[in-house]
Every structure is written in C-alpha cells, then in structure tokens.
Structure 1
Amino acid sequence: MELLRLEGLSKRYIGTQALDAVDMTIEAGQVLCLAGANGSGKSTLMKCIAGGETPDSGRIIWQGRAFDRLTPAQSMALGIEIIYQDLSIFTDLTVAENIAFHVVQSQHRGWINWSEVDRIAAKALNELGADLPLRARLGDLPIGARQTAAIARALTQDCRLLVMDEPTTALPSRDVAQLLSMVHRLKSRGMAIIFISHKLDELFEIADRFYVLRDGRKIGEYAPAELTTTRLSYLMTGIEFKGDKAPQEFDRAAAPLLVVENLCRRDQYHDVSFSLRPGEIVGFAGLTGSGRTEIALTLFGLNPADAGKMTLAGLQLRPRSPREAIGNGIALVSEDRHGQGLFARKAIMTNIASSIFERSKGRLGLLSQAKERDIGDTWIRKVRVKTPSGEEPVQSLSGGNQQKVVLAKWLAADPKILILDNPTAGIDVGSKMEIHDIVRQLARQGRGVIMISDDLEELVMSCNRVFMMQAGRLAAEFSGETLTVEALSGELRQAS
C-alpha cells in the first residue's frame, strides 16, 4: 500500500538548486534506503517531508491527500517521525521521561502520572525488543541506548513513516547489529522506513529498495540485486571508485619522528609503546573505550600521562595543553567536528585561520580580515572545499566539506604529526576518497600520520601498520600481508 508520494519536489537556496523536480514513493512495510553524496539533497528532501522546509514547487501526497507543503505539526499528526543525527534527546531526563515526553506533553495536565510514564516507555521498548533501565538518566547511558530511546519515543506517536538520518555513525559494531534488527522488527509491523547512511554495507543488509540522489536530482531507483557497493558508489558520485589502493611506502631506515615508550594513564591505558617515522601512516583500531582516543588526547596535551616517555624528533615531549602540542608541531582532528573542530556560525575562512591566529593579525595587532581571507582562500583551493565563498558560514557546508575545513585549519599550522580520529565518519564515499588523497599527500611530504578509525577497510587501505587496542593495551600489530580486514575483524571479535 502506497503511503507517501512526492511529485516534482523542488527547492532552491541562494546559488544552489538543492532539489530539482524529485519524484519518490514509499509503501507501508518497506525500507527505502536513500543514498547520495554530501550535498546531494537528502537532508533537504527529509526536511520537506518533516515540515522543516517549504518546497518551491511540487506536491507531497500522504495516503491520497495532497499538500503543497507540510508544517512540523501536520507531519507529526500524519505519523511522520524523523530521528536526526543529534537524536534531539533530553540528557538530563530519565529513559522513561524521554520516551513518553510527547505523550505527556499532549495531555496538558497540571500533574504527571509517573506510573503511566513508565508504562508508556516499557510498552514502546517492548515493541522494539529492547530493554533499558527506565529510571536511569539517559545522558549517563551509551550512545546505543540513547538511539534506542529516540526510536522508542517515535513509536509513542503512532508513527507510520520513520526517517533515520545516519543512525549508525557513532555506534559501535555490536549496537549497529541491534539497530538493524530493530529496523527489521519495525518493518514487520508495517512501518515504512527511510534509512540514510554512508555505510553502504549496512544499506544492503536492510534495503528493499534504493533511491539515489545526486546534485538534487533523482538518479534512479534500484532493487538491491541490481547493485553492488562499487556500482552504488558510482551512481552517488559519478566517479569510478577503485578500492584497491595499497598503503604507500616510506623510508623505513629514517629516524623515528615520534617515539612513545611505556606510556600509562590510570584507568585508560597501560604500557603503550610505538614509533612513527616520517611519511608513515600508523592506524589504531579497537572497541570504544579501548584507550585509542585517550592516547591521541595525551599527545595533544589534553590528557597528560601518569608515566612513560615521549620524544618528538629526538626531543622530550610532555605537552600539558593543546597550545603546547601545536607549538611542538602536533595537530588533532577530533572525531567530534561539530563540538570540537569548528565554529559553526563563523565563516569558513575564520575557521581555517583560527589555528594560526597570530598570522592573521595586522600591523596594530588586530585581526586582519584581508589576511584571514587570503589564508582561507589558499586552503579552500588546496583541500577542494566546495563553496561559493570563504565568507559563507561553515554550517552551510555538507559534512564532507566541513571535515575538509577542519583538515585545512590544522594543515595551515604546518604540523609535523597529524592525528586523525575517525576522520571520515558520516561522510560520503566521494569525500572519503578526497580526504584519503589529502592524507596520502601529507605523508609524501614527510609528515607522520596517526589514524584512529572504526572503518577497518579505511585502515587497511591507508595505513602502513595498524595497532589493535584492547582494554588499554596494545594487543596486536598488523602490517604487510597480515594487515587485512579479515585479520582486524577477527581480533575485534575476540576483544568483544
């Protein structure tokens, strides 16, 4: 049974045709996987369905009833729910309060029946086949539990169409499996689901149909049997993708750029030792909480070690702040580009120049917009940020282009060592290729690169060596013929 039909939906922003006469249908009990590169129009399309944006033209038809546009209230009343990447949860409220929030709010009572709140939450969780502590503060629970609570809340609203926008970006592998199981369960209940993800292997696990957007236009609709990940990547980007690149060589006889010896920090990591040579890309894999990010933060001066020794180009290294680390030639591209990497409302050029603020000053010691613009324009060209102007706010960019801005910010500081923490999380395959090329170019220039990633294929393609971390220790090292996705996966399974 057809649930939703979009006819000729178009939306234009200044200088950008975000949607161009898009047609789409979805039926009850169907999982439609919406695929497209960053900037393809996926988010704009979903916002039109949810009432967050007004189409310039076209119609939204819900079970035979036509609308020129929907308001957020109309969309929710029809049974359309969207779970965005930030989940829109209340971290200071309990699990039950988050799940039952909309129901309680709609009752307009002067008092709250707490047993009813628990009953509503328990019922929604039961429908998902999930179990969460109802009275626990949601902000104290892991990201997988928060994702489950957000889905359960949608079920309390008599949801008919659930849109999931990059729901697995921050999830560890065991939580991803649970989430995909929930999707199958909701589908069996007759719910329609639009699933958006850059992790193509996940899409093939759950898709009944693929819908591909590129540059705001519909490229086509396909059954899973008609596609491979390589073919889908091409349809999304228009670029022939070859995933057979091997890690580039480096001078193995060169003196180490960085040496870490017996590094320890209580309750985080223990006796960690490794080296990094000029031109080498060293990877770190492991489950969340294994200590890999904590080591990166130590190198960047945010998480001082209790014991051990670090040397950079033969000199002792003990950074106590990011300022000291940057002064030593170390830069960190954080996993959280929104919270820790960017000033979202500031201009692109301001973000890029922020790491070298002193060079952006004029004669009187004040910020020179002309210097800031020159720095921004230079790096926008070098890392190929797609934008009409460096004066645009960075929040106007797609996820892939935002990540390029973060990279440009730190490359402008000319680091000796670049640490990348999940550098391509939530980024489309085309932007991933471009970022990988930038990283390889840095290594060719003689810089050392440390890459932390949940994407095992990314580590195998990019790194000369990969360390597997488990419970705060280096459990295994992979290189050469031993560095394969299968070997890393097997080690991860043992760790879990």
Structure 2
Amino acid sequence: MSAIDERPVLSVHGVGKSFFGVRVLGGIDFDVRAGEVHGLVGENGAGKSTLMKIIAGVQPADEGRIDYDGEEVRFAHPRQAMDAGIVTVFQEFTLLPERTVAQNVYLGREPRRFGFVDQRAMIERTGGLLDDLGVAFIDPRARVSSLTVAEQQIVEIVKALSFDARVISMDEPTAALSDREVELLYAIIHRLTARGVAVIYVSHRLKEIFDLCDRITILKDGRLVSTDPAEALTADELVRRMVGRSITSYFPDRPEDAVAGEVRLELNDCGNDFVDGVSLALRAGEIVGIAGLQGSGRTELVEGVFGVQPFARGTMRIDGAAARIRSPRSAVRAGLALVSEDRKAQGLALGQSVLDNALLVIRSVFSARTGAARRQVPGILGSLEISSRGVDQEARYLSGGNQQKVVLAKWLLTEPQIVLFDEPTRGIDVGAKYAVYQLMRELAAEGRSVLMVSSELPEVIGMSDRILVMRDGELVAELPAGSAEHDVLAAAAGAERPAHTPTGTGEGR
C-alpha cells in the first residue's frame, strides 16, 4: 500500500445542518487523506448519513465549508461532486437492473462516435476498469439483474472510478455480503488506496472498522466525539464513545439458573424446494442459533417454519400437537412470529406511522383485538426505548435501529410463543443491537422459544444456547453454546467431520 499523504484531499470545517428546526449536525470537523481508509462510526441517528450526503452534494450544509485540494467547493448537485472526483456508494444501489454493466457505468456519459453511442468503446473502457480492480470475472456486457449483490457492489465502485474518483465514500458496503465476498471487497479497497484513492468507510461492524481503517471518527447526536488513529482505540473504548456508556459485554449474560423446558417446536424430516431432511427440536426458554454460509438454506428454513415457503415433506409439531403451517397467517395464529431479514421491504410499511406499523399484524390476523392492542402500544414502545417524535411519525424517518424496534413491537403485540429472527441486527448500531439481545434474553426468560439466523458468528456464539449448522439445505451439525468460530465455520464449509451430530433435541443442556 502506498504511503498516506498527510495533507487532506478533502476536509470539512464546522459543518452544521438542521431539518424542520431540529439540529442533526453541529460544528463537524472531518478530513480524509489520499491513500487512507477513514472510518466514520456512530449510532443510527448520529449524523453519519447526513454528513455523507453533504459531502456528496445531495444536501447543502447550513453552515461551515468543504475544502477539496485546498480550495473551498460548493456542490449544488451530486453530479458536480462526481465530476470533481468525489463519489458515494450508498447502501441502496442506484443501478438499472435491465441494463448492462457497461451501460450502468457510463449512464448519461456514454462515449459517442459519429453521433451514436460507441458500444465497443464503452465495453472496452468498463473492462479496463474491472481489470484494474482485479475483478475481470464480471462481464461488461452482462445485465446487472444477473449479478450477485457483491458483484453489483463492485459495479458501483467501478462506476465511481469511471469518474476518476479521488474520494470514495462507502455506506455499509458489506451489509448484504457473505464472508467470502467481504474478503473480495477488502482486496478492492486495498487496491484503491494503493492508487492513492481516499476511502470514507461507514459501517456498524467493528471488526471491519479495525481491519480496514487507518483513522476513526466517531459521531454522537450530530456532534463530533473524536478522531483518532485506529491503533489508539480498542473495541470497548470505541463502543463507549459511540453509545455514551461502557458495554463490558456485547451480549447479555445467560441466567445461571436457566433451564430449557418442554419441546415447543419439533420438525421431523421436513423439506421443501430449498431444504431437505430437517429435524430439530426447539424448547421453551432457549435460544437456538442457526449458522451457515450464504446460500446454505438458513433463511429458507425459517421461512418454511413460518409458512412463507411451506414444507412439502415431513411433520411439524407445536407444543406436542401436529401443525400444518401453510401460510404466514396460519403461523401467526399458531403463536409464531418472524422478524424478517429485510425490515424495509418485508417488515414495515415505511409510509405509515409508527402506530399503524405496530398494529399491522393485529389488524390483519386478530382484528377483534385491535382496540386492546392499540392501548398496549405506548407501553411496548416505551419498553423497547424507541426514539421517535411520537406514534404518528412515519416509519421511514426513523433510524435503522428504531425501525427494527418497531418491527419487534409489531410482533410482541401478537404475544408469540415461538419467535424466529432472521438477521435481527443487520445494519443497526451497537446500542440498538444490545437492546435486541436483551429482548431475546427476556423472551427466553418468559418461557418463549427463539430461533435465530445470523451471518455474524460472534452473534450466534454469544447468544445461542445451542448452535445448529446448515450446509446445502441440510442441518449438518449441532454445537454447544460458546463453541469456537473455527468449529462453526468448519462445519458450515464441510472442512472436517462435525464433532456433534444434529440431533436437535437439546437434551442435557
């Protein structure tokens, strides 16, 4: 990697921003240097996204200034920032799925020959940019809709490079990537910084922040907390500065006297088009984690249980009685809840209020209970410590962590006995994660059963009473609480014979 230039290529001085009289950024000083990865962290609502949008020209600052190459700049439109070499890769991609990679990279700037779009030149230039990043396996002529999420992420980066970018901001770039795809992104970032590109990196995943970043800036409540070299910080100190209090453990302790109760959910040789031969038993009062590589069938398993993709084979029993779950509605009536992976697309009606979202399932499945549930909403929202301007605020204006809490409130109102969590803390900050973990522990302490899918191994290991491992649509291993990451990964990848067979009974624990 090339040496980092100590002179900032981009610097922000005293930047402030307010919306509807509410100050969301105040007096922010921030800079990034050529060849550096600068981490930008903070809880949801800390002001990270607003600062990135100001830098990208999406929103104007109310006060302060931005210097680029030592000269003050003002961008009235994102295209002006991009033309200057400052490009942001947002979490929601801006690609057109039915167009090719090359067409997306040069959208609106297509090379022309004799007045017509020069398709050959556009493909060759895109291919050259892909080669420079070491990702020549992506075909410039391929439709974006045919690419994986990781490959689409790469196309966004290539698009940035086509503007001869000198500063690239990345917002939660690994939120939907597998571990192998994260490694590929790491390699691409190292290639960028070796060429002198400055990278602003926003992520809630602390491991990535310490793996990649040279310096780390922390924001809290729209204010600058600190900027330090990464090596000067520990994970515990970083968390303390982000949330304003010390979290000695990321995961609430298991109660020492906790004992699993009777079997609440039992699957015997269940299967559908995505999973096969699944047998497990989930007991009252326990948290069972499901680990596995992307594509192993983890989400498909919980969707089978919940009736999204009903099981076509095998038997299911709930509290000892045979159950036929053929739809989510029948699952809810049977006492199940599913906190889905994509809260924005599947968990919330973003244009509706917090109250309406909290009542979504009750109104749909238990309409006679709507009045009573409405009276319960303030208490449940308060217990989850949801930060909003009130129950009438639209869900779209909440932070990611608060949106996830509204999803949880929606399901808690149904009083479920079996709660299925699919990536419950994806894209939310450390403080909100801890609140979700506490809720899981409380559910288990009340005698409810929790089945949790997560791509974050520390989360699976830290929260689970037992760990079930999936590979190629099948349960291949059962591991005890506190198992090493190596053992979980080995079972998930088929690297060695698992030490425990997947009996799924949980007996003796």
* Partner residue in 2 for 1:288: 294
Partner of 2:117: 112
- Distance (Å, rounded) in 2 between the aligned partners of 1:248 and 1:165: 37
* SS of residue paired to 1:461: helix
Distance 1:284 1:302 in 2: 18
Residue 241 of structure 1 deviates from its aligned partner by 1.3
Alignment of 1:74-473 (within 5 A): 74-104=80-110, 111-131=116-136, 132-243=138-249, 245-248=252-255, 252=259, 254-266=261-273, 268-357=274-363, 374-473=375-474
Shift of 1:16: 3.3
Cα pair 2:106 2:162 within 8 Å, conserved: yes
What RMSD in Å do the two structures reach over aligned CA positions?
A: 2.2
Distance 1:495 1:89, change over 3 A: farther
Count of aligned residue pairs for this structure pair: 488
**Distance 1:294-1:179 versus aligned 2 partners, 3 A rule:** same
- Aligned equivalents of 2:50, 2:354: Cα separation in 1: 21
- Kept in 1, the 8 Å contact 2:373–2:413? The answer is no
SS at match of 2:426: coil
Native 8 Å contact 1:276 1:448 kept in 2: yes
* CA deviation vs aligned residue, 1:293-325 (integer Å, no higher than 9, x gap): 111111111111121010001111221111111
Moved more, 12-21 or 223-232: 12-21
Q: 1:14 to 1:186 in 2, by over 3 A?
A: same
Displacement of 1:491 in angstroms is: 3.0
Q: Decide whether the 8 Å contact of 2:260 with 2:285 is kept in 1.
A: no
With over 3 angstroms needed to count, the CA separation of the structure-2 counterparts of 1:288 and 1:87, relative to structure 1, is same
- Aligned residue for 1:305, secondary structure, equals coil
Q: Residue 480 and residue 453 in structure 1: after superposition, are their counterparts in 2 closer, same or farther (change >3 A)?
A: closer
Q: Verify the 8 A CA contact 1:81 1:154 in the aligned structure 2.
A: yes
Whichever residue aligns with residue 10 of structure 1, its letter is G
Q: Are the counterparts in 2 of residues 57 and 68 from structure 1 also a CA contact under 8 Å?
A: no
Percent identity reads 36
Offset, 1:201: 0.8
The Cα of 1:478 is off from its aligned counterpart by 0.8
Question: Match for residue 4 of structure 2?
Answer: none
CA distance in 2: counterparts of 1:54 and 1:151, whole angstroms = 24
Gapped regions of structure 2 (runs ≥ 5)? 1-6, 497-509
Letter paired with 2:298: R
In structure 2, relative to structure 1, the CA distance for the partners of 1:103 and 1:444 (3 Å cut) is same
Q: Which whole-Å CA distance do the structure 1 matches of 2:276 and 2:367 have between them?
A: 43
Report the Cα distance in structure 2 between the residues aligned to 1:109 and 1:15, rounded to whole angstroms: 53
Which residue matches 2:506?
A: none
Amino acid in the other structure paired with 1:390:
V
* TM-score normalised by the chain length of structure 1: 0.93
Query: Normalising by structure 2, what TM-score?
Result: 0.91
Helix, strand or coil at the partner of 1:103: coil
- Name whichever of 251-260 and 349-358 sits farther off: 251-260
Structure 1 residues 436-456: Cα deviation after superposition (integer angstroms, max 9, x where no partner): 001111111111100000111
**Structure 1 residues 25, 358: CA separation in 2 closer, same or farther (over 3 Å shift)?**
closer
Distance 2:49 2:185 in 1: 21
Q: Distance in 2 between matches of 1:299 and 1:360?
A: 20
Whether 1:475 and 2:473 are equivalent positions in the alignment is no
Instruction: Please report how far the alpha carbon of residue 377 of structure 1 lies from its aligned counterpart in structure 2 after TM superposition.
Output: 2.2
| Residues in 1 aligned to 2:278 and 2:147: alpha-carbon distance in whole angstroms | 28
Q: Which residue of 2 aligns with 1:64?
A: 70
Match of 1:37 in 2: 43
Deviations, residues 34-79 of structure 1 (Å, cap 9, x unaligned) = 1111111000000111111121111111222224664323212211
Change (3 A) 1:256 1:40: same
Amino acid aligned to 2:155: A
Deviation of the 1:101 alpha carbon: 2.1
Instruction: Report the AA paired with residue 489 of structure 1.
Output: L
Which stretch shows the higher mean deviation, 276-285 or 251-260? 251-260
SS at match of 2:383: helix
> In structure 2, how many angstroms separate the alpha carbons of the residues matched to 1:200 and 1:253?
32
Q: Give the equivalent residue in structure 2 for 1:489.
A: 489
Report the Cα offset of residue 102 of structure 1.
4.3
**2:15 counterpart (2, 9, 26):** 9
**What are the ranges of 5 or more consecutive residues in structure 1 without an aligned counterpart?**
none
Q: Which amino acid aligns with 1:192?
A: A
